[in-house]
Amino acid sequence: MSLLEVRDLHVSYGGIKALKGISFDVEEGEIVTLIGANGAGKSTALKSISGLVRAVSGTIRYEGEEIQHLDSQKIVARGISLVPEGRKVFPNLTVRENLLIGAYLRKDKPQIMSALEEIYELFPRLKERHWQAAGTLSGGEQQMLAVGRGLMASPHLLMLDEPSLGLAPQLVKDIFSIIERIHDMGKTVLLIEQNANAALKIANKAYVLSTGEITKSGKGRELLDDQDVKDAYLGVQATGGG
């Protein structure tokens, strides 16, 4: 049994079909990536899993149980955390306050404090700036904060929506090495990313999404060498979400 199983998922926005019956699996302990052009339906897939968008039909099973009918708070409580596209930090709150908001469903105060220290270890920059308003951080620091906040929920499955979007090339490298470190900490990661090259290099498994349908799947490294994927996604990197 996979940790996450998505089967024949259909999602529409005002009559426009965003997802047309996609199916994919995330095994425990994997990094899985969904790649595709802007508007392919990648973000919609993550929003459906996290309960922010309701599917028209299809099933989403997490640890064997259907979750497509649950609200987003219950899904977070089950162990799924979404780091949204565009970071969405609370600009007027401090770094520390933003991180603690990530743990709002947890009641275990000593473990929350211990999780906070782990985040500071993973992101020393956030520790240095724990008192600073999140809105005054650089784009890269805000992305670290968004990832740290997602981890504060103590998720089993961490979903990342375009974590490298808008970042300078060196920061993109940093973000991907952080994703690998998070994976090494025992987290399962579902990643959507416009930087297909970087995503495929670290992914155990990858799915190519095109206008709401999965057109290819395979090991990350295999798709890196696939000529169709190279032609479509590994030339000039596209920008923007999906």
Neighbour tally for 66: CB within 10 Å:
12
Q: In terms of Cα–Cα distance, which of 123, 99, 126 is closest to 113? A: 99
How does residue 40 score in pLDDT terms, banded at 50, 70 and 90? Answer: confident
How does residue 238 score in pLDDT terms, banded at 50, 70 and 90? Answer: very low
Q: What percent of the chain has pLDDT over 70?
A: 97
Give the residue with greater pLDDT, 25 vs 174: 25
How does residue 170 score in pLDDT terms, banded at 50, 70 and 90? Answer: confident
Q: State which fold the 4-89+156-233 domain adopts.
A: Rossmann fold (3.40.50)
| Residue entry with tokens 């890269």 | 140
How does residue 107 score in pLDDT terms, banded at 50, 70 and 90? Answer: confident
Yes or no: say if 37 and 210 are a contact pair by the CB < 8 Å rule: yes
How does residue 122 score in pLDDT terms, banded at 50, 70 and 90? Answer: very high
| Residue entry with tokens 């990313």 | 193
3-state secondary structure 162-174: CCCCCCCHHHHHH
pLDDT at 147: 95
Average pLDDT over residues 210-236: 89
Give the residue with greater pLDDT, 40 vs 31: 31
pLDDT tens track for 139-167: 889 999 999 999 999 999 999 999 988 88
Predicted TM-score of the model (pTM): 0.91
pLDDT at 236: 44
**pLDDT at residue 241 is higher than 70:** no
Yes or no: say if 226 and 218 are a contact pair by the CB < 8 Å rule: yes
pLDDT at 235: 61
CA dist., res. 184 & res. 133, Å (int): 30
- The 10 Å CB-count burial string (b at 16+, else e) for 136-154 is ebeebbbbbbbbbbbbbbb
CA dist., res. 17 & res. 41, Å (int): 9
Domain boundaries, the chain: 4-89+156-233
**pLDDT at residue 237 is higher than 60:** no
pLDDT tens track for 76-89: 999 999 998 877 89
Determine which of 38-47, 59-68, 233-242 has the lowest per-residue pLDDT on average. 233-242
